[in-house]
């Protein structure tokens, strides 16, 4: 089989430098998860001073992100990314309890596919809801995915570089105080075309459902 030059954008994604850059972007663009300060006026009871701090804390539904490379079934990974090793590659993170991402990518023949599964765990449901709305606001043209988490949004976009088309789908899910973010894209280097919108959208949503189920199992 003759080798084909990849478009510059996709070639960059296949290099270790790009993987580390992606990790940096994820960490840099993550939400501020510092607890929100609230004014409290504890009642004075018995020997407790009215100025004593409250010791009541709202428990988090999810305390840590699950292992992202184990969040999607092997058969799902290999069907979405033909030719890939099912194990995946986890991207380094400075805080693996709060933020973890796994990537799979492969070129089989002329078909290229890339899949990312990311978890972001925040202090409160309100923090997660705020960041969910922010992420959804950056993605125009999509729609809600019913029955997935507390809220879910899916969008597919087509880009062209050097006459090569790439179609990418993103699914953002909020489940209590956590976000699950799926990125799935593909290109055909022989036809210069890209997979259909339905193919990318269906694949991204399938991965999202399994990743959310893995989060819920880990938090049970």
Read off the pLDDT band of 10 (50, 70, 90): low
Nearest Cα to Cα of residue 5 among 200, 195, 163: 163
pLDDT, tens digit, for every residue of 163-204?
999 999 999 999 999 999 999 999 999 999 999 999 999 999
Reported as a pLDDT band with limits 50, 70 and 90, residue 13 is low
In the predicted structure, residue 8 carries a pLDDT above the cut 90? no
Residue bearing the bigger pLDDT, 91 or 43: 91
**pLDDT band, residue 58 (cuts 50/70/90):** low
What is the pLDDT at residue 86? 93
* pLDDT > 70? residue 76: yes
- Coil vs helix vs strand at 3: coil
Span 43-60, mean pLDDT? Answer: 52
Q: What is the mean pLDDT of the chain?
A: 82
How does pLDDT run across 124-165, given as a tens digit for each residue?
999 999 999 999 998 889 999 999 999 999 999 999 999 999
Question: What digits encode the pLDDT tens for the residues 19-50?
Answer: 333 444 333 344 443 343 344 444 444 444 44
Question: Partners of 103 in the beta sheet?
Answer: 89, 116
Exposure string of 12-49, with b = 16+ CB inside 10 Å and e = fewer, is ebeeeeebeebbeebbeebbebeeeeeeeeeeeeeeee
Q: Where do the domains of the chain lie?
A: 8-32+61-219
104: alpha, beta or left, given left = phi > 0 and alpha = psi -120 to 50?
beta
Q: Of the candidates 38, 63, 59, 42, which has an alpha carbon nearest to the alpha carbon of residue 51?
A: 42
């Amino acid at each position: 089989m003759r080798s084909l030059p990849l478009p510059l954008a996709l070639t960059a994604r296949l290099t270790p430098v790009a993987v580390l850059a992606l990790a940096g972007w994820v960490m840099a663009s993550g939400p501020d998860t510092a607890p929100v300060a609230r004014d409290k006026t504890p009642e004075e009871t018995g020997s407790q001073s009215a100025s004593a701090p409250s010791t009541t804390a709202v428990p988090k539904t999810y305390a840590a992100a699950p292992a992202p490379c184990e969040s999607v079934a092997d058969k799902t990974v290999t069907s979405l990314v033909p030719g890939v090793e099912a194990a995946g590659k986890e991207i380094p993170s400075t805080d693996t309890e709060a933020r973890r991402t796994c990537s799979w990518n492969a070129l089989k023949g002329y078909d290229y596919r890339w899949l990312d599964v990311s978890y972001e765990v925040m202090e409160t449901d309100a923090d997660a809801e705020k960041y969910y709305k922010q992420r959804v606001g950056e993605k125009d043209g999509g729609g809600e995915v019913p029955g997935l988490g507390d809220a879910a949004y899916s969008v597919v976009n087509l880009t062209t570089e050097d006459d090569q088309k790439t179609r990418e789908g993103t699914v953002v899910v909020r489940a209590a105080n956590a976000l699950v973010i799926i990125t799935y894209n593909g290109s055909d280097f022989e036809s210069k075309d890209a997979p259909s919108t339905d193919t990318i959208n269906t694949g991204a949503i399938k991965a999202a459902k399994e990743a959310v189920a893995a989060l819920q199992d880990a938090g049970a």
